[in-house]
Structure 1
Amino acid sequence: MHPNCNDIAQPHPLLPMDINRALARNEPICRYFYPHTTTPTTPLVITSYLTTKNTSRELSTIESMTSKSLPTRTTLSSGTFYQIYPPSFADSNKDGIGDFRGIISRLDYLSDLGITGIWLNACFDSPFKDGGYDVRDYTKVASRYGTHEDLVELFHQAHARGIAIILDLVPGHTSEQHPWFQQSAASKYTDFDDRYIWTSHAFEGGAGLAFIGGEHPRNGAYIINFFKSQPALNYGFAELTQPWHQPVDAPGPRANQDAMVEIMKYWLSQGADGFRVDMADSLVKNDGTSKRATIGIWQSMLSQVRAEFPNAIFVSEWGTPTQAFEAGFDADFYLDWRGNGYNLLARNTDTPLERRDDASFFNSDSATGAQEFLDMYLPQWERTHEAGLFSFISGNHDCPRLAPRLNEQERALFFLFQLTMPGLPFIYYGDEIGLPYAEIPTKEGGYARTGSRTPMCWDSQLPNGGFSLGDAPLYLPMTDTSQNVAQQRERADSLFHHVQKLIQLRSQLPALDGFADLEFDLSLLKKHPKVMVYRRTHHHGDSVLIALNAGNKPIRVELQQPQAHELFRCGDVTYPDLSDHSVVELGPTSGVILSV
């Protein structure tokens, strides 16, 4: 145990955007990475000065739990969300694939971590040709994850612990097996003819849009968003250039809007708390960079839903907060696209997933500084910080994991940054324990993304790392059990406890609220490009100062805050004058949070 970690909660028993998406968005293609070597693990040194108590408890019934307030769209900003890829989190029935009951069995773990919300990846009925993002029925759950009643029970159990659940809504396309498409593809006229985008005849191309022809009786080619199995729903065209283009207010596009509104209302009535919306910015075709037509559609749909469910939470996969918040979303992801700045922090590489080829800011051996990221991020934050929550992610099911390229201390520093920045942070399952990317064969259309979707490892002493206790083949292989929950909870200086303490600080300090003000000290960057110093200030006056050194050499920083009080540190942090915190010496890959 680290000598300064005595007050950390003690352990207790366990209870790349893909290429097709980039093309569909007309945006830069995300890079994929293939790891061949493992970064040597360096000892993680963390210190916390915030006292906490072990909040674990054995419960026989859910009713015996102490009720916690459930986050709503008006209280999101002090929380932390957690993304779960359902087939890879926990298997309750020993069939080798994760399920709703498995998630229920691990809710106490998430509560102990401090999570206030879960984003549940695609879980509706699907042939799973793209990991569930090819929906066959929007109001039916995928049977491999359990029953409708199981999902409703998951809502109830999560709510009892003060955890909201948002579902994944995929409004831009369906599976080719969806009944809507089957009727639209028929040779005879049906009410669903214009619910999808069809060209005038089978030999006509898509006029710049990806299309499939010759597959169905209907005399036309259909537009797809990604794979052949994902026909694009018709929300109209902002610019009509072909005879088969329809305006956004045509009957087919209007019917799709109405259907999505009813789908959202249905799941909210069942207990869901909201939605993360897949590709929210790309509904209307030929919408240009302004996305005016798409914004208008979302304003209409969300206003209808909120008239009945005013506390519903909506998070967009948009990546342009000025547009997403105008459209009505509460939070927007700062996506890991090349060219928007975020990829510079932890995924700045075009080569296989190896440390020596990585030029990320948080790779202490790289020369990448903070200036370019800040030049891209700060103008977006300044224009939108009062309108919504521009949210940092640790990763997701579409991009490479932080591990093993970044070592454990570097990942710890990344989390110090993520969890002290504005917005609503999202932690991808397993990132809090350093679950590594794995180079494995594709599964269900994952291709390079598959390596970020491997099973959660709960305990290396249990079969299949505790993910599944049965003998059935696993959904994806358990390639590495060295990073597991049991081991991390036993180590007081682990990445898990580091993240747990940061989440607790975020929830308790008004200055770390997602809407609190942000001010960077840009004067340091010319001399110290791998140093970030920034202040977060709540409108009531509470203020904290964060200083971090992402480089591999110690740096002395003058903070000019003699009365500052240290709240949290990561790595080697010292003060030349113990009674005066106006000057701090930051060791390699270290950071500190100070109350000022």
Structure 2
Amino acid sequence: MEKKWWQSEIVYQIYPKSFQDSNGDGIGDLNGITSRLDYLADLGITCIWISPIFKSPMADNGYDISDYFDIAKEFGTMEDFKVLMAEAKARGIKVLLDLVVNHSSDEHPWFQAALADPQSKYRGYYIFKESAERPNNWRSIFGGSVWEKLPNEDVYYYHTFHKKQPDLNWENAELREEVYQMITQWLELGIAGFRIDAITFIKKDLSFQSIEPDGVDGLAKCTKVSRNQPGIEVFLKELNERCFKPYDAVTVAEAPGVEYDQLDEFIGEDGFFSMIFDFKAADLDVVSGSEWFKPVQWKPKDLFDKFKDSQLAIQKVGWGAPFIENHDQNRATTKYLKEAEKNPKAAKALALMYFNLYGTPFIYQGQEIGMINFNREGLESFDDISSIDQYHRGMAEGLSSGEALAVINYRSRDNARTPMQWDDSQYVGFSTVAPWLAITEQSLERSVADQIHDEQSLWYFYKKLIALKKMPSCETLVYGQIAFVDLENPEVFAYRRFDEKSSYLTLVNLSNQEVEFPLENPIVDILIENGGMSLSHRHVTLPPYGATLLKETTNGNY
């Protein structure tokens, strides 16, 4: 594979509302991000992905955009953004933005014009259906029908997500041209590319027929008929050719519904995107379709197998985007480590487990200090609209109120959106006033202020992982192939990154028991380990939650 500039990046995702408040209003902002660039540079970050900062009524925290080329007032101004860009560039940090083009806000001028005049061309920018009753039984991602009736007409509009997020009509060529012009404007400002939101929803089954219900509400999840539908390739190819290729932009697609046998089309040599996020490992704890109120019991081997299957499929055709956290997931410490969520050694094992997988690694804010899930006492403490929907759907499906609350405490997207824990002061160094969303905990142990001064901390462990990945002598950890080692112990994860020059073996024990296993090849060096490992000539012994990265001799036994 030809080497691309973005393959060696270390990407850090910022949820701007919760990263750093610079003006004392309890909401994070662009100037707050700028003030923390030295922190990110010190950690070793080379690229930041900033979740939506555009003008929005914030029905879905910025994923409902009312002006694609203006900054939300709570985040600052376009001048603030340009300052952020310049300061990031001065530190060698690239900037990615979120691209949200499956839908807009219902407050976008296009949609307002469509409402004001049924004959307007903007009616064609969205999906409207004339009908005296709901056109079909499709359920939106956030619950309820995908159809919302206009107040004074027998007309419904379509929304995959919240009713304040009407879907754009990608079948309309004029709409697509407007989208392409907007994308080009941002690329002209010097951003390196985009994380692309919900992009596999832009093509619908145009028959709009009802399908078999899958819930007590009589509805059926719209993903079955509006995600990764035949014909989407026409739109995605055009999007790439018109916008991304001319700027050599990196694109990371949120592309649920893409099967492994389709990966070549999406991320192959002439694929639509640079890479896509695979959510199979992230969603192993819920039934297919991310129905939180239907939890799934799993074991470490299930997690390892999902990573293994994903990595091998991606390696065949393109490039990966390994991650364990983002703004739509609960905290990885709580999800993957369970009772060991507060154990720094276990959090280090989790870091090593994924960081040297095949692809460009992504770190989410707070992951590097081991932030954990919160525990809210009532529904009124939640902001996330999806959590509120899951609570009510769980109740409708037979859960008690306590059971439904426990489900969303565990799985809520709010877990990742609480303020970044810079220190253990009243508002954790995020703001001087009560933040927009209550903090998770006032913990010195899980704060930046404590960990950056402790060379045994999780933060330092991430810093060392990043430094290793950047070393010319460890280039194999970036570009090398991946192969997985089958072990008898189902709670140990082992994989090898290798090329014709070097071979590196990652070993991770995600159990609370000591484990021992044989080595196939002699060990040249121990690059990193999280404590307590013992190494003999042909055996490694790892303590509970022990993990290590070893350099092997290269004798072809891959």
Q: How many angstroms apart in 2 are the aligned matches of 1:295 and 1:303?
A: 12
Q: How many angstroms apart in 1 are the aligned matches of 2:278 and 2:155?
A: 38
> Which of 88, 104, 108 pairs up with 1:178?
108
Amino acid across the alignment from 2:273: F
Secondary structure in structure 2 of the residue aligned to 1:588: coil
Is the CA contact (8 Å cut-off) linking 1:280 and 1:316 kept in structure 2? yes
Secondary structure in structure 2 of the residue aligned to 1:145: coil
Q: What is the CA-CA distance between 1:129 and the residue it aligns to?
A: 0.6
Is the CA contact (8 Å cut-off) linking 1:331 and 1:388 kept in structure 2? yes
Residue equivalent to 1:583: 539
Residue equivalent to 1:443: 383
Residue equivalent to 2:192: 273
Question: Is 1:93–2:35 an aligned residue pair?
Answer: no
CA pair 397-220 structure 1, distance change in 2 beyond 3 A: same
Is the CA contact (8 Å cut-off) linking 2:421 and 2:429 kept in structure 1? yes
Q: How many angstroms apart in 1 are the aligned matches of 2:36 and 2:236?
A: 34
Amino acid across the alignment from 2:158: I
Q: What is the CA-CA distance between 1:330 and the residue it aligns to?
A: 0.7
Q: How many angstroms apart in 1 are the aligned matches of 2:228 and 2:59?
A: 32
Residue equivalent to 1:245: none
Residue equivalent to 2:476: 511
Q: What is the CA-CA distance between 1:120 and the residue it aligns to?
A: 0.5
Secondary structure in structure 2 of the residue aligned to 1:188: coil
Q: What is the CA-CA distance between 1:535 and the residue it aligns to?
A: 1.0
Residue equivalent to 1:26: none
Q: What is the CA-CA distance between 1:450 and the residue it aligns to?
A: 1.9
Q: How many angstroms apart in 2 are the aligned matches of 1:163 and 1:506?
A: 16
Amino acid across the alignment from 1:529: P
Per the normalisation by structure 1, the TM-score is 0.75
Q: What is the CA-CA distance between 1:421 and the residue it aligns to?
A: 0.8
Q: What is the CA-CA distance between 1:460 and the residue it aligns to?
A: 2.0
Residue equivalent to 1:295: 233
Q: How many angstroms apart in 2 are the aligned matches of 1:352 and 1:215?
A: 31
Residue equivalent to 2:323: 393
Question: Is 1:474–2:439 an aligned residue pair?
Answer: no
Residue equivalent to 1:460: 424
Residue equivalent to 1:229: 164
Larger CA deviation: 374-383 vs 77-86: 374-383
Question: How big is each residue's C-alpha offset from its partner over 1:175-213, in whole Å with a ceiling of 9 and x where there is no partner?
Answer: 111111111223430111111111123535246364434
Q: What is the CA-CA distance between 1:307 and the residue it aligns to?
A: 4.8
Compute the RMSD of aligned alpha carbons.
Answer: 2.8
Amino acid across the alignment from 1:325: I
Q: Where do residues 137-152 of structure 1 align in structure 2 (5 Å cutoff)? A: 137-152=67-82
Is the CA contact (8 Å cut-off) linking 2:285 and 2:296 kept in structure 1? no
Q: How many angstroms apart in 1 are the aligned matches of 2:66 and 2:136?
A: 24
Question: Is 1:331–2:331 an aligned residue pair?
Answer: no
Q: How many angstroms apart in 1 are the aligned matches of 2:133 and 2:291?
A: 38
Amino acid across the alignment from 1:480: E
Residue equivalent to 1:28: none
Secondary structure in structure 1 of the residue aligned to 2:483: strand
Q: What is the CA-CA distance between 1:301 and the residue it aligns to?
A: 1.0
Q: What is the CA-CA distance between 1:344 and the residue it aligns to?
A: 4.4
For structure 1, the residue ranges without an aligned partner over 5 or more in a row are: 1-71, 236-247, 361-367
Question: How big is each residue's C-alpha offset from its partner over 1:84-131, in whole Å with a ceiling of 9 and x where there is no partner?
Answer: 110100111111111000000001111111111111011110000111
Amino acid across the alignment from 1:329: F
Residue equivalent to 1:528: 489
CA pair 78-317 structure 1, distance change in 2 beyond 3 A: same
Q: Where do residues 44-193 of structure 1 align in structure 2 (5 Å cutoff)? A: 74-193=4-123
Residue equivalent to 2:126: 196
> Which of 515, 521, 524 pairs up with 1:561?
521
Q: Where do residues 234-383 of structure 1 align in structure 2 (5 Å cutoff)? A: 234-235=169-170, 248=171, 253-286=172-205, 291-309=229-247, 311-319=248-256, 320=258, 322=263, 323-325=265-267, 327-335=271-279, 340-344=280-284, 368-370=299-301, 372-383=302-313
Amino acid across the alignment from 1:510: E
CA pair 155-202 structure 1, distance change in 2 beyond 3 A: farther
Is the CA contact (8 Å cut-off) linking 1:213 and 1:222 kept in structure 2? yes
Q: How many angstroms apart in 2 are the aligned matches of 1:217 and 1:346?
A: 40
Question: How big is each residue's C-alpha offset from its partner over 1:204-254, in whole Å with a ceiling of 9 and x where there is no partner?
Answer: 52463644344344541001111111111112xxxxxxxxxxxx4xxxx21
Is the CA contact (8 Å cut-off) linking 2:53 and 2:71 kept in structure 1? yes
Amino acid across the alignment from 2:480: A
Q: What is the CA-CA distance between 1:282 and the residue it aligns to?
A: 1.3
Question: How big is each residue's C-alpha offset from its partner over 1:538-592, in whole Å with a ceiling of 9 and x where there is no partner?
Answer: 3x5222111222222212211132243111112321024xxx3x21111111111
Q: What is the CA-CA distance between 1:173 and the residue it aligns to?
A: 0.7
Amino acid across the alignment from 1:305: C
Q: How many angstroms apart in 1 are the aligned matches of 2:525 and 2:504?
A: 9
Is the CA contact (8 Å cut-off) linking 2:134 and 2:147 kept in structure 1? no
Q: How many angstroms apart in 1 are the aligned matches of 2:284 and 2:384?
A: 29
Residue equivalent to 1:24: none
Is the CA contact (8 Å cut-off) linking 1:278 and 1:317 kept in structure 2? yes
Is the CA contact (8 Å cut-off) linking 1:573 and 1:590 kept in structure 2? yes
Q: How many angstroms apart in 2 are the aligned matches of 1:291 and 1:130?
A: 25
Q: Percent identity?
A: 30
Q: How many residues align?
A: 481
> Which of 344, 354, 357 pairs up with 1:408?
344
Q: How many angstroms apart in 2 are the aligned matches of 1:352 and 1:570?
A: 35
> Which of 438, 457, 469 pairs up with 1:494?
457
Q: What is the CA-CA distance between 1:306 and the residue it aligns to?
A: 3.3
Residue equivalent to 1:552: 512
For structure 2, the residue ranges without an aligned partner over 5 or more in a row are: 140-144, 206-224, 388-411, 553-558
Amino acid across the alignment from 1:478: I
Question: How big is each residue's C-alpha offset from its partner over 1:279-325, in whole Å with a ceiling of 9 and x where there is no partner?
Answer: 1111100277764422221111111113531x211110014360531
Q: How many angstroms apart in 1 are the aligned matches of 2:282 and 2:384?
A: 28
Q: How many angstroms apart in 2 are the aligned matches of 1:121 and 1:113?
A: 20
CA pair 411-358 structure 1, distance change in 2 beyond 3 A: farther
Is the CA contact (8 Å cut-off) linking 1:318 and 1:324 kept in structure 2? no
Secondary structure in structure 2 of the residue aligned to 1:176: coil
Is the CA contact (8 Å cut-off) linking 1:455 and 1:476 kept in structure 2? yes
Q: What is the CA-CA distance between 1:342 and the residue it aligns to?
A: 4.3
Larger CA deviation: 283-292 vs 486-495: 283-292
Q: How many angstroms apart in 2 are the aligned matches of 1:114 and 1:387?
A: 29
Larger CA deviation: 202-211 vs 176-185: 202-211
CA pair 560-164 structure 1, distance change in 2 beyond 3 A: same
Larger CA deviation: 200-209 vs 215-224: 200-209
Q: How many angstroms apart in 2 are the aligned matches of 1:468 and 1:382?
A: 43
> Which of 547, 570, 573 pairs up with 2:533?
573
Amino acid across the alignment from 1:552: N
Q: How many angstroms apart in 1 are the aligned matches of 2:54 and 2:228?
A: 31
CA pair 227-397 structure 1, distance change in 2 beyond 3 A: same
> Which of 423, 428, 432 pairs up with 2:359?
423
Q: How many angstroms apart in 2 are the aligned matches of 1:152 and 1:512?
A: 34
Q: How many angstroms apart in 2 are the aligned matches of 1:590 and 1:266?
A: 48
Q: What is the CA-CA distance between 1:171 and the residue it aligns to?
A: 0.7
Residue equivalent to 1:4: none
Secondary structure in structure 2 of the residue aligned to 1:194: helix
